[in-house]
Amino acid sequence: MNFIEGKIALITGATSGIGKATAKALNDMGVNLILTGRDEKKLNELKNILDVQTLTFTFDVRDKEMVSKTIEEILQITHIDILINNAGLALGLEPIDEGNPEDWETMIDTNIKGVLYVTKPIFKHMKERNEGHIVNLGSVAGKTAYPGGNVYCATKAALHSLNDSMNIDAYGTNIKVSNIAPGAVETEFSNVRFKGDKKKAKKVYEGYTPLSAEDIANAIICVLNTPPHVNIQYMDIMPTNQRNPYMLYRN
């Protein structure tokens, strides 16, 4: 059965990777979309290939004032049934004593504070309607740290804790909160982490078959498309060759 057809979903970071794949998957399920991201051109390109009703809004989740203003504008013209907190990134892979504090701040501002800025008004909106579903894109790195992951792993651990807290704050309501925790997924993730060094990024995925953005999008659909009384709070998903964040068998 399709429990989500006709609903409205807002996706952050929808211009590429998991966000873009999730938009396409939701489109196939008949879910109307609100796409957000930093690149207006890419958002419009995605909108043009979708069949469902789609709105686009350009902002950076780190910009508290712009997030607040834009979501207020959105809620004046429509409601939101589903929130996909997808925007996030990793920068660098150095030990803590060699890390770049500017990279740390970007990860913290995006992966933690950005989620809070977006979620607060939408959570309030969902409570008023007594329904909704929030999906947070975490990482297996939030449960098990890996060498050089330090601050990135810490931000995803914080997101996992926030997922718990959101479920507690949803007590007595019909709001669902889910955390999707992928392992190695081949997207622009490593290219961003290594600041455009494509050769270095490509090596991350050599010797095994990594997950794809579509794999994670399918997992998100599985979590969303459940009866009203079912709330899948956590889902860990990894390539078969990966058993935890740093045990990855390469042929």
Q: What is the pLDDT tens value at each position of the chain, 251 positions in all?
A: 999 999 999 999 999 999 999 999 999 999 999 999 999 999 999 999 999 999 999 999 999 999 999 999 999 999 999 999 999 999 999 999 999 999 999 999 999 999 999 999 999 999 999 999 999 999 999 999 999 999 999 999 999 999 999 999 999 999 999 999 999 999 999 999 999 999 999 999 999 999 999 999 999 999 999 999 999 999 999 999 999 888 899 99
Q: Are β-strands 247-248 and 242-244 bridged in parallel, bridged antiparallel, or unpaired? A: antiparallel
Domain for residue 225, yes or no? Answer: yes
Token pair listed for 137: 């894109």
Would you call 246 a catalytic residue per the annotation? Answer: no
Please state the domain count of the chain: 1
Domain for residue 1, yes or no? Answer: no
Domain at 36, CATH number? 3.40.50.720
Q: Where in the sequence is the domain holding 123, given as residue range(s)?
A: 8-248
Which one from 117, 146, 152, 171 is the annotated catalytic residue? 152
Token pair listed for 129: 């309607």
- Residue with tokens 């999730």, as numbered in its chain: 22
Nearest Cα to Cα of residue 36 among 27, 28, 46: 46
Domain for residue 62, yes or no? Answer: yes
Nearest Cα to Cα of residue 120 among 180, 77, 80: 80
- 129-152 burial by CB neighbour count: b if 16+ within 10 A, else e? eeebbbbbbbbbbbbebbebbbbb
Domain for residue 59, yes or no? Answer: yes
- Vertex 247: Cα angle to 240 and 245 (nearest 5): 85
Please give the torsion angle defined by the CA atoms of residues 11, 14, 214 and 244, in that order, rounded to the nearest 10 degrees. Answer: -80
Domain for residue 120, yes or no? Answer: yes
Domain for residue 2, yes or no? Answer: no
Q: Please give the pLDDT value at position 213.
A: 97
Domain for residue 132, yes or no? Answer: yes
Domain for residue 241, yes or no? Answer: yes
